[in-house]
Structure 1
Amino acid sequence: MDIHTSKKVVAVGGGHGLGRILAALQDFGHNATGIVTTTDNGGSTGRIRSCQGGIAWGDTRNCINQLITEPSISSMMFEYRFRGTGELDGHNLGNLMLTALDNLSVRPLAAIDLIRNMLGVDVNIIPMTEHPCDLTALSIEGSWVTGETSVDEMTEDLQRLDLDPVVPATKEAVVALSQADCIILGPGSFLTSIMPPLLLSEISQAIKNNSHAQLVFVENLSPEYGPAGRMTLAQKLKWCERALHGRTLDVILGAEPHIELKGKWHCETRDLASPNRDWRHDRDKLKNAICDLIRTW
């Protein structure tokens, strides 16, 4: 039985990490779905949000970029970043295109689908929510900060994360999670890429309720900085399970063995690093590892 046509895989996260996972899942085509974090407030995305409003497009654009298999004028346009001294300096044309389509479309998801069709991307990409919101964090000292960039820069450890305002999850994301045979969290920035979608009650409940799906956590290959860098792997796993209402992570996939996790979580140790950049996951190694997990589940 070909797992690429018989199994559905959903990956949750943001930034470069989710894009890497989705690139590894390309053989699944329409049976693969990425649920993308939409709370970024830095760089080109943050500047667009501050003057235009809307959800953050940067992580979605990054995922689409990593799924483009046939370079074209359209893909070159989508990936183009302006340089110079004017207001356009640093802006990515893909972000601007998605923002413009969002303003013209009934839903942000329609904008993503139009771009996917234009660039020949088969993998489904769904924003975690279609409503603007920001990530907020409560420090152990009792102070709140707002915005992903502020969370990453916190010098104090965190008690909890929230979304402000409370927004609904995209309904297609909830359906995809409820039908998934395998759900993947990570890799990526733990607090600002992996956790935000899990803060949406419909998404966390859909993962908890899908008891037949294999739930996989993929570790980063390089250390994080800021408050996430001060968390142990066990702490991160507990944060995920707490957000998922106690749902246990079935497999922890990483490049290093974790003796300290023995008896608490099932760990799979694999060589996942790219040969020329050991901080980045190799697409083929990641693809083979995930397919092996699905086959043996």
Structure 2
Amino acid sequence: MTPKPSGTSQAETPRIVVIGGGTGLSVMLRGLKQKALDITAVVTVADDGGSSGILREELQMPPPGDIRNVITALADAEPLLADMLSYRFNNGTGLAGHSLGNLILAAMTDISGDFVTGIRELSRVLAVRGRVLPAANQAILLKAEMADGSIVVGESSIPKAGVAIKRVFIEPEHVEPLPEAIEAIQQADAILMGPGSLYTSIIPNLLVPKLADAILKSNAVKIFVCNVMTQPGETDNYSVTDHVDAVHAHIGHQLFDYVIVNDGEIPAQVHQMYAEQGSTAVHLDMDEVARRSYQVIADNLVLFRTYLRHDAAKLSNHIYQLVVDWKKRKG
């Protein structure tokens, strides 16, 4: 559980549910776990590529990769242990390509007899600050209808199709969400989505019917953290408005109260590096976002080391202040 400052009771600690998957979510959670927040991460189970895809297929279990990343991000563990969980084998027949953390999660699932219990036990061992829950206790198959009418099957195949995405959908269509995830949403003071792959990490969670319904009915403040850069094959040339409009189109409702965006300058050499990969800065069309009645928080939120990432400390400061202010207004 997240440490509480002196004098802060469990009842007073704001409850936040973070929904998504991928690297962006993990970066943000590393900042949020330093705050006095009761965190529940609800993570996509649509991954079908790499080590996760192999374990999903061979062991008939939900894909562990995004879950493992989130556990590592929230763990109160030595850096060496985090590195060990992320370690990917380069050699070995049947072992090459697997990350150690994925294999540990697979083992915990087998030992406990249940994926959710395996996650809970591994989280306990690693002193995770908060709860990590899969969106459902089974793997979800993600499909996409493309702009040319073709259907692409599989989360890992969708960005490689070379055609713009019209919509994504899941099988089974009426998958049941995890009851603990619904309960966390119902009790939340804030619900947070992004950053991450829009169509393959964020929206798939909202396609779990009862999960989307619970979010819509919630009185929590709902926040969208927009990506800094576009994702090739997924959000090419997208603006901030394109991101929130895609969420709206999939669930039929305007979901968010606040949109957090980067308005900091990205160095020319970084632009060039990403352009070579087919990625550009997400266009900040502030007027269009405001016209849709979203409240916008814009700040210089980027850090560049090897890759461009959100500044976890700055981002978590904005989120924490929003949540605390909202909780005070609610009384």
Counterpart pick for 1:51 among 34, 54, 58: 58
1:216 maps to 2:237: no
Local SS of the residue matching 2:230: coil
Mean Cα deviation higher: 103-112 or 11-20: 103-112
Confirm whether residue 78 of structure 1 aligns to residue 85 of structure 2.
Answer: yes
Aligned counterpart, 1:13 = 20
Residues 20-99 of structure 1: pairs in structure 2 closer than 5 A: 20-28=27-35, 31-71=38-78, 75=82, 77-99=84-106
For the pair 1:178 / 2:186, whether they are aligned, the reply is yes
| Counterpart residue type for residue 209 of structure 2 | S
Give the superposition deviation at 1:230.
Answer: 4.2
Query: What is the alpha-carbon distance in structure 2 between the residues aligned to residue 222 and residue 106 of structure 1?
Result: 40
**Contact 2:86–2:99 under 8 Å retained in 1:** yes
Question: Partner of 1:132: helix, strand, or coil?
Answer: coil
Deviation for aligned residue 1:48: 1.7
* 1:260 partnered with 2:288: yes
- 1:279/1:287 Cα in 2 relative to 1: closer, same or farther (>3 Å)? same
For the aligned residue pairs, the C-alpha RMSD in angstroms reads: 2.3
Is residue 153 of structure 2 the alignment partner of residue 153 of structure 1? Answer: no
Residues 278/221 of structure 1: CA separation in 2 closer, same or farther (3 Å cut): farther
Match of 1:290 in 2: 319
The unaligned stretches of length 5 or more in structure 1 are none
Q: Is the 8 A contact 2:75 2:123 kept in 1?
A: no
Alignment length (residue pairs)? 296
- Worse-matched range after superposition: 260-269 or 192-201: 260-269
State the distance in 1 between where 2:93 and 2:307 align.
37
Q: Distance in 1 between matches of 2:9 and 2:30?
A: 16
The amino acid of 1:192's aligned partner reads T
Cα drift, residue 86 of structure 1: 2.3
- 8 A Cα contact 1:182 1:294, kept in partner: yes
1:19 and 1:208 map into 2 onto residues whose CA distance is 24
TM-score w.r.t. the length of structure 2 is: 0.82
Q: 1:280 aligns with which of 298, 303, 309?
A: 309
Q: CA deviation at 1:76?
A: 5.3
Say which SS state the counterpart of residue 280 (structure 1) adopts: strand
3-state SS, counterpart of residue 148 of structure 1: coil
The answer on whether the counterparts of 1:11 and 1:21 sit within 8 Å (CA) in structure 2 is no
After superposition, give the CA deviation of every residue in 1:212-265 in whole Å (9 maximum; x if it has no partner). Answer: 211111011222111322443323212212434414311110112523323212
| Separation in structure 2 between the aligned mates of residue 134 and residue 3 of structure 1, nearest angstrom | 41
How do 1:231-270 residues align onto structure 2 when only pairs under 5 Å count?
Answer: 231-256=238-263, 257=284, 258-264=286-292, 265-270=294-299
Query: Which range moves more in the overlay, 30-39 or 56-65?
Result: 30-39
Q: Percent identity?
A: 30
Following TM superposition, by how much is the alpha carbon of 1:274 offset from its aligned partner in structure 2, in angstroms?
A: 2.3
Work out whether 1:163 is the aligned partner of 2:167.
no
Q: CA deviation at 1:172?
A: 0.7
